[in-house]
Chain A
Amino acid sequence: MSLDITKINPHFEDVMPQEYIDLVKNGPFGNEKSQKDLGTFKELLEEHPLCAGCNLALAFRILVGSLPNPEDTIIVGSTGCSSLAFSQLALHNIHSVFGNQNAVATGLKTALRLRFPDKIKDVIVMAGDGATADIGLDMTLHSWFRGDKITTVMFDNELYANTGGQESGMSVRDTVLYMAPKGKKFNKINLPDMAIAAGCSYVAVVSTARTKPISDCFKKAVLITREIGPTYIQIYTPCPTNLKIKPYESKKVATDRSKSDYQFREHITDDAKKYLESLKP
């Protein structure tokens, strides 16, 4: 967008909310930030209502604070805890129905490519594990098969958090959850490998145990998406509310898992690697 659009009409300055004035004066528009800058600038996410100790909220904050071009980014979300944060976001974002986020993103990207052929518009999907790997799995995969230039991010809390903690396809085998009263009977869906097989140019598995990799991998993914093809980031974001643990212990869960069965993983195609190198000054 033209950065002028964010500016405040001088006649309205006295009635604009302070948060908006801060956003224009000290926000990330036209001024790329990353995770290390959090706390030093006015963030796009304002007063989210997610639970204390929510790791999804932490990941969301890092992602939104790491956008390479927030002024030309449109995010497509889905139903779930994350949809409660989207309404607090100072970016154009879409919630339509549950599970169709990658399909909506495909249509949106198509329209924006037609309308702004000379501009890069980053279309990013951010949704939970239920939306991405269960109800929306066919649309997630098909957007990858088609090679649509969309960055897909999954907040993986391994259950349906917003509806009270039911089993999802991303839940770990044998975990006892609502709708899995005797424990989950099949393995956690291996979506990162499916993403690679489906043609993603870049796939990263990270967790809230460490914040820098989330920011770094996400930036890489968005850049690669622009020129090379679809990318996928899976973030482990444990849910203290449904795990019935104290908010301040939730990050420790992520740390423990990141050392055992939820380790950092990265896959990058040669094309994508070459492209990233070409961007270096």
Chain B
Amino acid sequence: MPSYNDLKEVSTEYMLFKAKREEQFITGSEAVREAVRRANIEVAISYPITPQSESMHLVGDLYAEGFVKEYFRGENEFAVMSEIAGAAMGGARTFTATCGPGTLRAFENFPMWAGARLPIVMAFMPRGVNSPLTIQPDTIEMGFLLDTGIMMLHAENAQDLYDMLLMSFDIVEQTSVHIPIGVFIDGFFVTHTRQKVHIVTEDVRLKPYNPSLSPVPIMDMETPPFRCMRDPFVMKSNYISYAAHASWQQEIMASAQRAKRHIKKYLGNFIEQENPSAPIQIVASGTAVSQSREAIKMLKEDGISAGLVKVKLIRPFPTKEIKNALSKTEKIIIPEFNRTGWLAREIASTIPNNDRIVPGPRVYGGMTMPPEVIVEVVKNGTPIGI
């Protein structure tokens, strides 16, 4: 195994598309470790909460091996996200991960990160947040995060997770973007299971973050201006104050739109389609995509032709692509691993004639989603789990 100093610095493009890879049989958490190993992370901060703990303690191993420059365990998720913010404001490339209740405890930080234009890359491994206590997989927290201003990618499997993490640093560190991104992977189903993942084996690492490209001053007293503001517009009740806040929020939204071309460069299309001309389309993200693939095979055996729309980018939402993909579809099935059906809501607010949508099946509380359930919903046209 090479050490950090043996790794040659390369572009994200080289890392993703040119570097030699080798198939490894590893868990989702190990895929996080392998992405972080080559991501040239300066500050990683962890908090132990299942199932994030495994990935973040594996990142701790990388620190011990010298691949991550600074690493420690913070006192709670709210504090960790604040510590990550401080490190990013100080001009460091950062990484952390959380899930479920941890996400909610840290929540106030996410809109702050976006508002402060922090280029933070973070992994979320969603799980249930309900009471009574659960630690089981559930993507409900993604619904909560939709309007925080952070960008969101939803990985289907460990390979997606690995690639999405590695591409994210260059996307968020663009001067015109510089807002955080979350890479989401369904907890347990992917983090704790082994899959074949193509891992870069060449001795390379990403080029370091260049904080001088930040669109807002880095807080280091090296970057002018050192007087950044006059007048505390936080408390002023006047139009100029409102306009300052409103235009700032518009700028965050615009940053996400500007990110699209960089996301496209590495991710390809924001959605992936199979059998696009079929009258029935199953639209899904995360591991629901894998279950849908199985369901489509079973439907084919029964003589029913169904297509698949895999949504990879959740924020900014690929409105145009979804609308085009579903323009001629007669029936749209949206299987989800949560109770609220946030993806169904997003699709319903995007397409015309949204009575074509069957917003299910939905499973939650840690349930798996047998493909038979999707098949049943396709055949009967009535959602299950709502």
A contacts, CB < 8 Å to B: 1-2, 5-6, 20, 23, 46, 49, 71-74, 76, 83-94, 96-97, 100, 103-116, 121, 138-139, 142, 146
Are A92 and B228 in touch, CB under 8 angstroms?
Answer: yes
Pick from B86, B220, B227, B228: contact of A106, CB below 8 A: B86
Which of B20-28, B70-78, B137-145 contacts its partner? B70-78
> 6 shortest A-B CB distances, which residue pairs?
A107-B86, A111-B90, A100-B82, A103-B82, A111-B92, A107-B87
B62-90 with Cβ < 8 A to chain A: 69-70, 72, 74-76, 78-80, 82-90
Residues of B within 8 A of A88 (CB): 229-232
A215 to B137, CA, bound (A): 54
Residues of B within 8 A of A6 (CB): 224, 226
Residues of A within 8 A of B82 (CB): 96-97, 100, 103-104, 107, 139
Pick from A49, A71, A83: contact of B221, CB below 8 A: A71
Are B221 and A91 in touch, CB under 8 angstroms?
Answer: yes
With A83-B234, A111-B43, A114-B42 already in contact, the answer to whether A100 and B87 are too (CB < 8 A) is no
Residues of B within 8 A of A111 (CB): 42-43, 86-92
Ordered by A's residue number, 19 sampled pairs between the chains whose C-beta atoms are within 8 Å are: A1-B220, A1-B226, A73-B221, A74-B221, A84-B235, A88-B232, A94-B86, A97-B108, A103-B78, A103-B79, A104-B82, A107-B45, A110-B87, A111-B43, A111-B89, A112-B90, A114-B43, A138-B75, A139-B75
Distance from B282 Cβ to chain A, minimum over Cβ atoms (Å): 40
* Nearest CB in chain B to that of A5: its residue: B224
Are A114 and B227 in touch, CB under 8 angstroms?
Answer: no
Are B79 and A142 in touch, CB under 8 angstroms?
Answer: yes
Sample of 15 further A-B pairs with CB below 8 A, known A6-B224, A92-B221, A103-B86: A74-B220, A83-B232, A84-B235, A87-B231, A87-B232, A87-B234, A88-B231, A89-B227, A97-B82, A100-B85, A104-B85, A112-B90, A115-B220, A142-B75, A142-B79
Q: How many B residues touch the partner, as a band? A: 35 or more
Q: Is B112 an interface residue (CB 8 A)?
A: yes
Residues of A within 8 A of B79 (CB): 100, 103, 138-139, 142
Contact residues of B: prevailing secondary structure: loop
A64 to B132, CA, bound (A): 50
Question: Looking at A23, A49, A92, A138, which has the most chain B CB atoms within 10 Å of its CB?
Answer: A92
Are A76 and B221 in touch, CB under 8 angstroms?
Answer: no
* Nearest CB in chain A to that of B224: its residue: A5
* Nearest CB in chain A to that of B217: its residue: A92
Residues of B within 8 A of A104 (CB): 82-83, 85-86, 89
Q: Is B222 an interface residue (CB 8 A)?
A: yes
Are B221 and A1 in touch, CB under 8 angstroms?
Answer: yes
Residues of A within 8 A of B94 (CB): 107
Are A84 and B232 in touch, CB under 8 angstroms?
Answer: yes
